[in-house]
Structure 1
Amino acid sequence: MPTTPAASLRIAVSLPVRNTFSYAVPKELKAVAEIGRRVTVPFQGLEVTGYILGKSLAYEHNELKEVTEVLDDEPLFYPQIVPFFEWVADYYVYPIGKVIQSVLPGGLNKKSFKVASLTETGHEALLRLPPHYDEIKILAWIKDNPDKRLPFSFSEVEPLKKRGWLIITEGTCRRHARPLMRRFIRLKERADLDDVQVKKGRGTGAKNEMEFFEAIGHGDPVLLCDLTAKFSNAGRLVNKWVKAGLLETGMSPVFRNPAGEIITQTAPPLELYDQQVKVLSHIRRCLDRKTFSTCLLHGVTGSGKTEVYLRAIEYALAHGRQAILLTPEISLAAYMEGIFRSRLGDRVIIYHSGLSPGERYDQWRRIARGEADLVIGARSALFAPLPRLGLIMVDEEHDTSYKQDAAPRYQGRDAAVVRCKMEGALAILGSGTPSIQSFQNCLNRKYHLLVMSDRVEKRPLPDIEIVDMRPPRDKPFHIPVISRRLKKAIEDNLASGNQTLLFLNRRGFHRMYVCRSCGKPVSCPHCDVGLTYHLEEDRLVCHYCGFSSGTHLICPSCGYPRLRAYGFGTEKVEQDLKGLFPDAHVARMDADSTKKKGEAVGILKRFSEHKIDILVGTQMITKGYDFPMVTLVGVVAADLSLGFPDFRAAERTFQILEQVAGRAGRGEQRGRVIIQTFNPDHYAIEAAARHDFDLFFKKEKALRFQLGYPPFSRLAFLMLKGNSMEETKEACHVLTRNIMDVINRTADGAKETQVLGPVQALVSKIKGKYRWQILIKSRSALQLQNLLEEAEAMSKNILKSKGVSLAIDVDPYQMG
């Protein structure tokens, strides 16, 4: 029987399927089945989580399956953001249900799966069958794991079910994130404190009991944990007055509070300087228009971009709009959250993947309920459900951290611009070293360029000195970690009572161990990479899969007992510094030293309080921090990023050198930077030494244009992974031929689009999977998008039989 469109819903399921599906809504659920809520729906024999995206145009109600359950009391997102979810799914070639699942707080999905148990005949078969039969492996696993998800395919277990050897049923995943419940205390509805006789007199007991009732008061319920923190005998008093009929207790959900400590109290400056005033004036005009536009704020390090962010957000909030501030690092998000909360109050919310599942769940609910005006975080904060969005600011817009490695592989900066376009908001991209792409967009008049070329209070940019680390030809090849020039500079800086930052973008102690006999490195058994030695753990660790082994240091290839260490990382630099400067307080900030929650903020706090004299770290220390006592920055090895086979290698090198140099001299004293390098004549290093972005942009743009790389083309990277080297290689070649056939059938296809590959990946094996890749380069965005859709569709038939998976990366930042 036909029904109206309102009687059915368009739902995206949290499974790897590209389409959305129509479901009928039972009469009893119609009142609560609204856009943004999660539901459970039947799908291919399973009960899975789905997301309501809107009304469906399906009219044949009798043919539709029904929604089983509505899971949320309130929407998790609002209707205006649905087109943005759809754009992310289409542009990055990823199922929309999986897109939504990835951006919502983890642990929310309810999903059923297949479990199996052996029948009596199944047990008999397990004892009877020869041990080499494939069925033995399956039956033995089911016998030992009766309640676990089946790791076998349908084609493997279905024949055993038909023989009556096993029974297949459904299991359900549990939710990992849920409201946090706490016990509360309150006065009973008709209780009157005036009728209560507390202890008489002026003794401690009487005073304590009176203060206890004052804390409870006549208003809202009080959490028992708050009373316990204030009164050591709270438990006894609560029990006493509950029995007396005056108080009652219950359980109530509370929000977890992940707000970081305010590291720096930031007061507004008395007066903005001319360039800040000009930039803010333009931003306010854009906000007043309430239409989409994009501005690139090119401000040198120390030019006061953070103050511009603050005042722009204050202006947006004062006019009833909401804002998002994106940062490239979680540690920087916590630092910025403290600064902004000190100025804007508690309606500032932090959201990033470093929070616990429960904290992310609570923060998302607070945002969805309208309890936030500003959301600060790394790239995942881009999806915060703010219905009155007026402004998104992307700090350090050039940073590669905005590109997500795992699917959906979106670029946070580019996606921020698209979301602003869809919701009529202003996008501001800020950087002291803009990306080539963003700066070219200004030249093409897609973005408006805002410039702040002076530092606050006309402070000079730091002096940069290049130290050539190439040894003379007539001397032994010995390279110190810390050159004499850098060592002397650190000594002088310590003597003057100032602080030093040392940057090295490689963690660990030794980069690899090599056998002195056969020359082979100690490698990861699961990945095609060497193991890095970590002193703190005293283990060799793979930075790709996490495998680790002890340091017995015997060659696994030939058994020779003598290995030689090569290379160095931040741990080695830290140890050398402690040896060179035993009286100095030395600390390290990298992914290893900040594993635990709060460790990054703790290091930054101690550094801001001058409890650390020398801080050595990876790129975590290069971003956006303002420490006035840092007058010396040392770059230990400027060439590391130049060695990558990537067309962006020079751009990344220039950006990271200029960014870390910008940490020096932000106070009263002029800064100094020492860069150690084996390539002192490289144009990226020369431009960084001169603080000359225009020089670098001119040379880099010419090279990109000549080679046809972005911003003069678009790229897509196809990575194939499989358990068999030969199967993966063959699948990659077959897929490449099919892609070429599609290109040749398309008008101007061969002229507009180029395929590079297939070729074995630079790291040929990771986590036991062999890797082959294809790079597609096209001058036509539409043609590339259509080609990727066809490649994804045709790959299912090509790869399924070979046990090979395909990952598509649009606008890639990692080239293998």
Structure 2
Amino acid sequence: MRSENSNRIRVAVPVPLREPLTYRVPRSIRGEVQAGVRVLVPLQVRKAVGYVLGEAGDEGPRDLKDVLDVLDPEPVFPESMVPFFEWLADYYLYPVGRLIEGALPGGLTAGPPRRARLTEKGMRYLDRLPYRCEERDLLQWLRDHPEGRPPVPHSKVLELEKEGLLRLERPAPRRLPGPTTERFVRIREGLDLHSFLNSGEKPLRARDERAFLEAVARQGSVAVRELRARFPTMAYLVRKWRKKGILEVLERASYRNPAGEILRPVPVPEKLYGQQERALGEISSRLKRGGFCAFLLHGVTGSGKTEVYYRAALRALEAGRQVIVMVPEIALAVYMEGIFRSRLGDRVTLYHSALGGAERRDQWIRMARGDVDLVVGARSAVFAPFDRLGLIIVDEEHDESYKQEDGIRYHARDAAVMRAKMAHAVVVLGSGTPSVQSVHNGLTGRYRLISMPHRIEKRPPPQVEVVNMKDLPPDAEGRGMISPVLREALARNLEQGFQSMLFLNRRGYHRLFVCPSCGKSVQCPNCDVALTHHFHGEALVCHYCGFSAPARMLCPHCSCGRLRSYGFGTEKLESGLAGLFPEARVARMDADSTRRKGSAMEILKRFGTGQIDILVGTQMITKGFDFPRVTLVGIVSADLSLAFPDFRAAERTFQILSQVAGRAGRGENKGRVIIQTFNPDHYAVQAAVAHDYKTFLEKELGLREELGYPPFRHLACLTFLGNSEGRTETFAELVGRGIREILAGWRKRGSQIQILGPVESPVGRLKGKYRRQILLKARNSGLMRHLILSVEERYGRRPEARGVRLIVDVDPYQMT
């Protein structure tokens, strides 16, 4: 859309409105307006930044407000992405303006508030909050720094503003920032430097003068900063030879480079194995024909999926198309980007939420301008502003990290499928343990199934052993953490010079502290959860809200000073291993040990180069990494994921066990996996031990169909949050009754939707907010979303809704 005749446009403004607004474009700026640019528009009594979606029809009101200014000379996203944004907003019931704002990197959005000042209500609320909780710390910071920018995500600030606790003062809108520039030096175009140097006409007096000119000629153009490091007299030489007409100095755009690190060289195989050839052939054939197609690539761990990804991406690039490669973890994104960049060079970039604001903005601009053709990233990479999109690869498509749990609660895998469909592109969903939902889509014809059932080089799957922890005597050494079988296997692996990985999906040192006098555990004052003991810092920490208290504290219930610790996490496991094997080099990889930027890659690099013997970690270590010298994997507690009150608990357990087991035996030496569990007969554990995905799938699909869960039903979770338990419960009950009344009025249509609740959430209080929830099950997702919109319209402005926030999660994963 770029027409000087367009005088009515649709603008998405980042406010809580479901639909875009219509504005009139003054004749003086009509030539500058196009889809994807930011514009400054009036909104009630203030000015706001909005995003142009396209032309508006002639119908509608005539007394429109004028667009005040166009902020960008070129779009910040292509027009082809507008239908994708609108589909996401409609499906996930989220304001389209806020969706686009969340998709764009900082610097291209409407901008966070410059100041956030506490209101009188906020001051009173601060006085009532308990000591040392995250919300109190934030409000105190805002009170003490009225001129500062809030040190928390923008979504948290908006939540506090909505509750009336603070008032935002927004900055003036900024125009699209350009890249930084860098000075380069080159030989003047058309000059033969070799002939000039040998002519003897110009004496070369300065030290290294000939080497300087030859270096510039050899590289074509050289950055001034690089020459300065190599030649001490660089400034003099540039001035001299520029004045004589031999050199030219020019400025070029310089983008910050967030490139990942190549952990170790990845050899390029001379030829593919048969199953790789067949998989690549199917994908390449579809790329050549063009049009949308969704593939589900089911390849066991170690089957060579990454090489298929790379070659499929190369086919798309050779056809002039662009490629998005998505992985579930940021550390894996950095690792994967290094693999692709080692072969494709600067055509590849890295994009994820942990990059600095300037880095993200620079990479976004490079993608929008077509300077790169392939991006590797986590879930936010699905928003890459490519206009020639030909292929999307979603590795480890089963992983729950693809589901966003705040803001717009989208699933990046499902969003990738829809974006590929709208772009007439190919999408490849790959996994060694595909999600039940994706396999069902393959069985029903929505996806095309490709199977890679064997490891490359005919490597056998790892030998899996189960240790039934119930068989160990209650007082046996290692009953709770490291069994004798696992300890012996670790010792043997160390003697043979191989590496081991131990998986435990729980952070911290002790799981909880209990008072022996009153029998109560030490709970978070803001959440209905026990505090976890962290040895480093000697603190009891809430993993939900961040509250911390000294580990050497009295019982908050009876003031007893003899608290007892129970359970263990990755910290205690690391410490225990150091005690058992003092000569071993042990490291830990979890959310606590990788807080510093680049720390995850440091750990992986040390492990990849053999500087770590035993790596302890949470789910961060389970995905996609290839370390040939790992021959032993220990799963310390296979039961943690089974304990969740979630219909996906068995699926999650099977996937985790299979994925972790897949890290063993990826080199020339055979792998061994030891699973410690108190539930050895559970069908998910049995199937993982036998590497039997088919049996697990049949069992799980039967249970899901019988109980009415995905993929046979669609779900939506309505969560009610409030400071007052009574008001929260009252509003949830009101909405629950309203839903039942609406469904009764719909008669036959209403029978297609089932309502469960309202009930207290599994975690009844979180970050100081009381929580209730309603679960909806429906055969038709469109009808379910229509019901939710009807409920919001009917009850959103009722007096009972004051002080209570309603969060809608379509296709929920975490219902805690």
Same fold per TM (> 0.5)? yes
Q: Which amino acid aligns with 1:302?
A: G
Q: Equivalents in 1 of 2:579, 2:713: separation in Å?
A: 50
Q: Which amino acid aligns with 2:561?
A: P
Retained in 1: the 8 A contact 2:187–2:220?
A: no
Tell me the equivalent position of 2:695: 695
Mapping of 1:603-614 within 5 angstroms?
603-614=603-614
Mapping of 1:179-258 within 5 angstroms?
179=178, 181-182=180-181, 184=183, 206-208=206-208, 211=211, 223-232=223-232, 234=234, 253-258=253-258
1:483-539: CA deviation from partner (whole Å, max 9, x where unpaired):
110010011111111110110111111112122222222222222222212222322
CA offset at residue 636 of structure 1?
0.5
Retained in 1: the 8 A contact 2:204–2:210?
A: no
- Say whether 1:52 aligns with 2:52: yes
Q: Equivalents in 1 of 2:32, 2:41: separation in Å?
A: 15
Q: Which amino acid aligns with 2:682?
A: H
Q: Equivalents in 1 of 2:515, 2:143: separation in Å?
A: 44
Q: Equivalents in 1 of 2:474, 2:264: separation in Å?
A: 52
1:170–1:532 distance in 2 versus 1, CA, 3 Å: closer
Q: Which amino acid aligns with 2:689?
A: A
Retained in 1: the 8 A contact 2:113–2:149?
A: no
Retained in 2: the 8 A contact 1:584–1:613?
A: yes
Q: Equivalents in 1 of 2:587, 2:176: separation in Å?
A: 35
1:526–1:174 distance in 2 versus 1, CA, 3 Å: farther
1:519-562: CA deviation from partner (whole Å, max 9, x where unpaired):
22222222222221222232222111122222232212222111
Tell me the equivalent position of 2:542: 542
CA offset at residue 371 of structure 1?
1.5
Tell me the equivalent position of 1:380: 380
Q: Equivalents in 1 of 2:310, 2:409: separation in Å?
A: 30
1:670–1:145 distance in 2 versus 1, CA, 3 Å: closer
Tell me the equivalent position of 1:719: 719
1:411-442: CA deviation from partner (whole Å, max 9, x where unpaired):
11111111111111111111111111111111
CA offset at residue 114 of structure 1?
11
Classify the secondary structure of the residue corresponding to 1:63. coil
Q: Which amino acid aligns with 1:79?
A: E
1:732–1:173 distance in 2 versus 1, CA, 3 Å: farther
- Say whether 1:26 aligns with 2:31: no
- Say whether 1:13 aligns with 2:10: no
Q: Equivalents in 1 of 2:189, 2:682: separation in Å?
A: 81
TM-score normalised by structure 2 residue count: 0.88
Q: Equivalents in 2 of 1:190, 1:628: separation in Å?
A: 50
Tell me the equivalent position of 1:400: 400
Classify the secondary structure of the residue corresponding to 2:632. strand
Tell me the equivalent position of 1:806: 806
Retained in 2: the 8 A contact 1:606–1:612?
A: yes
Classify the secondary structure of the residue corresponding to 2:31. coil
1:781–1:307 distance in 2 versus 1, CA, 3 Å: same
Q: Equivalents in 2 of 1:397, 1:616: separation in Å?
A: 24
Tell me the equivalent position of 1:425: 425
Retained in 2: the 8 A contact 1:48–1:111?
A: no
Q: Equivalents in 2 of 1:174, 1:5: separation in Å?
A: 26
Q: Equivalents in 2 of 1:154, 1:416: separation in Å?
A: 32
Retained in 2: the 8 A contact 1:303–1:454?
A: yes
Retained in 1: the 8 A contact 2:625–2:663?
A: yes
Classify the secondary structure of the residue corresponding to 2:564. strand
CA offset at residue 17 of structure 1?
1.2
1:583-605: CA deviation from partner (whole Å, max 9, x where unpaired):
11111111111111111111111
Q: Which amino acid aligns with 2:183?
A: F
Q: Equivalents in 2 of 1:484, 1:476: separation in Å?
A: 9
CA offset at residue 278 of structure 1?
1.5
Q: Which amino acid aligns with 1:443?
A: L
Tell me the equivalent position of 2:348: 348
Q: Equivalents in 2 of 1:711, 1:623: separation in Å?
A: 24
Q: Which amino acid aligns with 1:184?
A: R
Q: Which amino acid aligns with 1:566?
A: Y
Classify the secondary structure of the residue corresponding to 1:808. strand
Retained in 2: the 8 A contact 1:177–1:357?
A: no
Mapping of 1:644-659 within 5 angstroms?
644-659=644-659
Classify the secondary structure of the residue corresponding to 1:73. coil
- Say whether 1:409 aligns with 2:444: no
1:49–1:223 distance in 2 versus 1, CA, 3 Å: farther
Q: Equivalents in 2 of 1:261, 1:4: separation in Å?
A: 47
Mapping of 1:431-580 within 5 angstroms?
431-470=431-470, 479-580=479-580
1:746–1:535 distance in 2 versus 1, CA, 3 Å: same
Q: Which amino acid aligns with 1:798?
A: R
Q: Equivalents in 2 of 1:38, 1:622: separation in Å?
A: 41
1:178–1:691 distance in 2 versus 1, CA, 3 Å: same
Tell me the equivalent position of 1:266: 266
1:21–1:214 distance in 2 versus 1, CA, 3 Å: farther
Tell me the equivalent position of 2:131: none
1:199-255: CA deviation from partner (whole Å, max 9, x where unpaired):
9777xxx22455556666799986543344334565677799999999999986520
Q: Equivalents in 2 of 1:143, 1:604: separation in Å?
A: 40
1:62–1:572 distance in 2 versus 1, CA, 3 Å: same
Retained in 1: the 8 A contact 2:717–2:774?
A: yes
1:688–1:100 distance in 2 versus 1, CA, 3 Å: same
1:74-93: CA deviation from partner (whole Å, max 9, x where unpaired):
21111111101000000000
1:235–1:593 distance in 2 versus 1, CA, 3 Å: farther
Q: Equivalents in 2 of 1:358, 1:325: separation in Å?
A: 22
Q: Equivalents in 1 of 2:328, 2:616: separation in Å?
A: 19
CA offset at residue 109 of structure 1?
2.8
Q: Which amino acid aligns with 1:181?
A: T
Retained in 2: the 8 A contact 1:40–1:110?
A: no
Q: Equivalents in 1 of 2:296, 2:144: separation in Å?
A: 61
Q: Equivalents in 2 of 1:489, 1:473: separation in Å?
A: 20
CA offset at residue 657 of structure 1?
0.2
Q: Equivalents in 1 of 2:148, 2:481: separation in Å?
A: 55
Retained in 2: the 8 A contact 1:14–1:101?
A: yes
Classify the secondary structure of the residue corresponding to 1:509. coil
Retained in 2: the 8 A contact 1:721–1:771?
A: yes
1:622-668: CA deviation from partner (whole Å, max 9, x where unpaired):
00111111110000010000000000000000000000001111111
Tell me the equivalent position of 1:734: 734
Q: Which amino acid aligns with 2:171?
A: T
Tell me the equivalent position of 1:629: 629
Q: Equivalents in 1 of 2:44, 2:636: separation in Å?
A: 57
1:27-75: CA deviation from partner (whole Å, max 9, x where unpaired):
3322221111111211111211110111122478972222222222321
Tell me the equivalent position of 1:91: 91
1:151-201: CA deviation from partner (whole Å, max 9, x where unpaired):
9989999xxxxxxxxxx9975267699445356366999999999x99977
1:451-503: CA deviation from partner (whole Å, max 9, x where unpaired):
11111011100010000111557868983311110010011111111110110
Q: Which amino acid aligns with 2:655?
A: Q
Retained in 1: the 8 A contact 2:502–2:634?
A: yes
Retained in 2: the 8 A contact 1:733–1:758?
A: yes
1:232–1:531 distance in 2 versus 1, CA, 3 Å: farther
Q: Equivalents in 2 of 1:592, 1:405: separation in Å?
A: 20
Tell me the equivalent position of 2:282: 282
Retained in 1: the 8 A contact 2:182–2:254?
A: no
**Larger CA deviation: 528-537 vs 435-444:** 528-537
TM-score normalised by structure 1 residue count: 0.88
Q: Equivalents in 1 of 2:531, 2:242: separation in Å?
A: 62
CA offset at residue 313 of structure 1?
1.1
Structure 1 unaligned segments of length 5 or more: list them: 118-130, 132-140, 158-167
Retained in 1: the 8 A contact 2:473–2:479?
A: no
1:422–1:486 distance in 2 versus 1, CA, 3 Å: same
CA offset at residue 674 of structure 1?
0.1
Tell me the equivalent position of 1:671: 671
Retained in 1: the 8 A contact 2:527–2:768?
A: yes
State the number of aligned residues. 782
1:702-727: CA deviation from partner (whole Å, max 9, x where unpaired):
11111011111000001111111111
1:523–1:116 distance in 2 versus 1, CA, 3 Å: closer
CA offset at residue 268 of structure 1?
2.5
Q: Equivalents in 1 of 2:427, 2:145: separation in Å?
A: 55
